[in-house]
Amino acid sequence: MANSQMTPGSTFQYILSNQMPSAVAWVRGGTAHPAISGLVKFYQTPYQGILVEAEIFNLPGVNQQGSTGFFAMHIHQNGNCANNFANVGPHMGAPGSMHPFHSGDLIPLLANQGYAWTAFYDKRFTIRDILGRSVIIHMNPDDFRTQPSGNSGSMIACGEIRTS
């Protein structure tokens, strides 16, 4: 494809297909949902933003034929997923910022029979900003209103963000 025909979307497709992520989070379920697993990848882009790709398996509903569900996904302040995620802290973001305007407030996952895949572009953080923090998946969808975390329910999976 000639450079004059490149759009951000075609660039993102190329990045996802041909480049290694700059950071990753291996996500694993907690005590209530130990079968959850997946990978969230973070890619540098030429647009001063980050391309995020998430693929998560065994979310609630995996055994219900035809089930669908939304699950909140956030970047939390700390990368310590121990003790059923008790130490991850609040959403990453500037002190005093309100939900859903924390830089750690991500788009929700849409799962179909326990499987979710998504990719999106975000300019609110850099790779350096997120290293050592955690990706958290919550049991409920984010309502994008309720403080401090969108009424997103319990934390069901966690992964520390590390360089790949």
Strand partners for 137: 73, 157
**Domain residue extents for the chain:** 3-163
Q: What is the per-residue pLDDT across 72-123, written as a single tens digit (0 to 9) for each?
A: 999 999 999 999 999 999 999 867 788 888 889 999 999 999 999 999 999 9
Q: 60 or 62: whose pLDDT is higher?
A: 60
pTM listed for this prediction:
0.94
Tokens 């975390």 locate to 149
Catalogue the E-assigned strands of 89-154: 109-112, 116-122, 134-138
* 127's tokens: 């790779």
Range with lowest mean pLDDT among 22-26, 60-64, 105-109, 137-141: 60-64
The DSSP 8-state label assigned to residue 115 in this structure reads B
* 5's tokens: 């025909």
Closest CA to 73 of 160, 156, 129: 156
Question: Using alpha carbons only, what angle is made at residue 19 by residues 134 and 11, rounded to the nearest 5 degrees?
Answer: 100
CATH architecture, domain 3-163: Sandwich (2.60)
How many other C-beta atoms are found inside a 10 Å radius of the C-beta of residue 130?
A: 23
Share of the chain above pLDDT 70, in %: 97
Query: In the predicted model, what is the mean pLDDT of the chain?
Result: 93
What are the residues whose beta carbons fall under 8 Å from the beta carbon of 60, sequence distance 6 or more?
33, 69, 111, 114, 139, 156
Reduce the DSSP state of residue 78 to 3 states and report it.
coil
